[in-house]
Amino acid sequence: MARVVAPCHDAAMRDYWLSKLFYDVQTSAAEYRADRAKFLARYELKAEVKEALMRDDVGFLAQRVNPYLLRFYFAASGMKDEEFIRRLRESAPPQASRG
Amino acid sequence: MAELVEVMAASHAPLIARDWPTLEPHHKERLTAAFQALGARLKRAKPDVLVIVAPDHWINFFIDNLPSVCIGVGEQHEGPPEPFLKAFPWRPVPGHAALANHIYATALANEFEPSVSHHMKLDHGFCIPLWRMEPNPLPRVIPIVVNTLEPPMPRVSRCLAWGKLIARAVASYPERLRVALLATGGLSHSIGEPTMGAIDEAFDRRCIAAFNDGREAPLLELLEAEMDGAGNGSHECRNWIVAHGAAGSRGFTLVDYIAVPEVYVGCGFAAWNLRC
């Protein structure tokens, strides 16, 4: 079945600063949750990316980072897996959902 | 000379640790039995050193510097940083710098170009199987990270070659050492994708049959063709391929396969046939 992922041998398109944020939040989740806007100010994020973060737009962010980092970020942010998966599926093209 | 005495693989789903109290009792029983079966094999093999082949889940490396293959050459390694692995009993994890450097040198001599880490953190990919197998005593550990998370990943055929290379390196190490290899990860699972939670049991069964059969060409063909479709976590089958190459591609014994929806993973446990 067709999947919307980059072939495993090709470098994928990534938003570096968004990825860096997600990477850092793994070890600073409490600080991030306490003051998200202050934490985000450390990163060179595009305005639309920052807005997507503020509204927890899983589908928008999923297009820009590694899926594992995406999962770690939303788990660290306090989103339950069920909600995360629901939002992922709602944002995906129909052929991307197998489960 | 050193000797390869055992080659195994086990899944490493983090929820096996994080959500253990809430897993279905029958899943807990089978997972426990599978880890214990591998642990018993390891105990019988009496290894001095355990090479563990696993991915790095964004702990040591990031996209500004992401090695394809990295060998932990330190005298010791850090234990897992994940909060749900606070109880992991071995911190630091003892390494074997001399054999690790010999694997590295053997790689360079054979036109492989791994990275090395003198101070590696071992995340759940390394530590959950190790912990659940309950080795006593704990062998010295050589961690080898294979990038199975972020493109570009090493080709499956390259992973097979890596396994053969590790076996040659062990065989040419001048000290008498008993060495085991544990590959972790897989089988099918999908993390952070719209298919998250899906387990492709049909893929897993084909995979197991191909590993059991042993022949390299059909196995490589299957994985190259189907891993992408079985979820991004399925790329961890690359680690199993390293084990397959290290064991001489003679097929394996399946210890158990358990599709565990609560941990999102088709969990596989196996030990390879080392002798004809």
Q: What is the pLDDT of residue A13?
A: 85
Using the Cβ of A73 and the Cβ atoms of chain B, whether some distance falls under 8 Å is answered with no
Which residues of chain B are within 8 Å of residue A70 when distances are taken between CB atoms?
192
Asked whether the beta carbons of residue A96 and residue B198 sit closer than 8 angstroms, the reply is: no
Q: What is the pLDDT of residue B228?
A: 92
Among A11-15, B19-23, B205-209, the minimum mean pLDDT is found in: A11-15
What is the mean predicted confidence (pLDDT) over B169-173? 98
pLDDT digits (tens, 9 = 90+) for A22-44: 999 999 999 999 999 999 999 99
| Structure tokens belonging to residue A17 | 């600063």
Asked whether the beta carbons of residue A9 and residue B149 sit closer than 8 angstroms, the reply is: no
| Structure tokens belonging to residue A39 | 């934490």
| Beta-bridge mates of residue B49 | B140, B179
Q: What is the pLDDT of residue A99?
A: 41
pLDDT digits (tens, 9 = 90+) for B46-84: 999 999 999 999 999 999 999 999 999 999 999 999 999
Task: Assign 3-class secondary structure to B159-218.
Answer: HHHHHHHHHHHHHCCCCCCEEEEEEECCCCECCCCCCCCCCCHHHHHHHHHHHHHCCHHH
What is the mean predicted confidence (pLDDT) over B155-171? 98
ipTM beyond cut 0.90? yes
Checking if the pLDDT of B13 tops 50, the result is: yes
Residue B167 makes CB contacts below 8 A (sequence gap 6+) with B4, B245, B246, B247, B248
Checking if the pLDDT of B196 tops 70, the result is: yes
What is the mean predicted confidence (pLDDT) over A48-72? 96
Using the Cβ of A76 and the Cβ atoms of chain B, whether some distance falls under 8 Å is answered with no
Name the band, by pLDDT with cuts 50, 70 and 90, for residue A2. very low
Residue with tokens 């949750």: A33
Chain A residue with minimal CA distance to B15?
A81
Name the band, by pLDDT with cuts 50, 70 and 90, for residue A7. low
Q: What is the pLDDT of residue A11?
A: 63
Checking if the pLDDT of B172 tops 90, the result is: yes
Residue with tokens 């003198």: B118
Q: What is the pLDDT of residue B129?
A: 98
Residues 138-157 of B with CB under 8 A from A: 149-153, 155
What is the mean predicted confidence (pLDDT) over A1-21? 71
Domain ranges in chain A?
A: 16-92
Would you state the torsion angle of the CA atoms of residues B88, B60, B54, B36, taken in this order, to the nearest 10 degrees?
0
Q: What is the pLDDT of residue B201?
A: 98
What is the mean predicted confidence (pLDDT) over B244-268? 97
Asked whether the beta carbons of residue B155 and residue A26 sit closer than 8 angstroms, the reply is: no
Comparing B19 with A12, the larger pLDDT belongs to B19
Q: What is the pLDDT of residue A92?
A: 81
Cis peptide before B137 (omega within 30 of 0): yes
Task: Assign 3-class secondary structure to B111-167.
Answer: CCCCEEECCCECCHHHHHHHHHHCCCCCCEEEEEEECCCCCCCCCHHHHHHHHHHHH
Closest residue to A85, CB basis, from B64, B196, B235: B196
Closest residue to B195, CB basis, from A11, A84, A98: A98
Closest residue to A99, CB basis, from B64, B150, B195: B195
Q: What is the pLDDT of residue A94?
A: 67
CATH number 3.40.640.10 is the correct assignment for the domain at B3-272 = no
What is the mean predicted confidence (pLDDT) over B130-145? 98
Chain B residue with minimal CA distance to A59?
B194
Contact B245, B160 (CB under 8 A): yes
A68 vs A75: CA distance, rounded Å: 11
B131 vs B86: CA distance, rounded Å: 12
DSSP A5: S
pLDDT digits (tens, 9 = 90+) for B210-244: 999 999 999 999 999 999 999 999 999 999 999 99
Q: What is the pLDDT of residue B275?
A: 77
CA distance to A30, B38, B57, B66, per residue, from A24 (Å): 12, 35, 13, 16
A21 vs A41: CA distance, rounded Å: 10
Domain ranges in chain B?
A: 3-272
Global pTM?
0.95
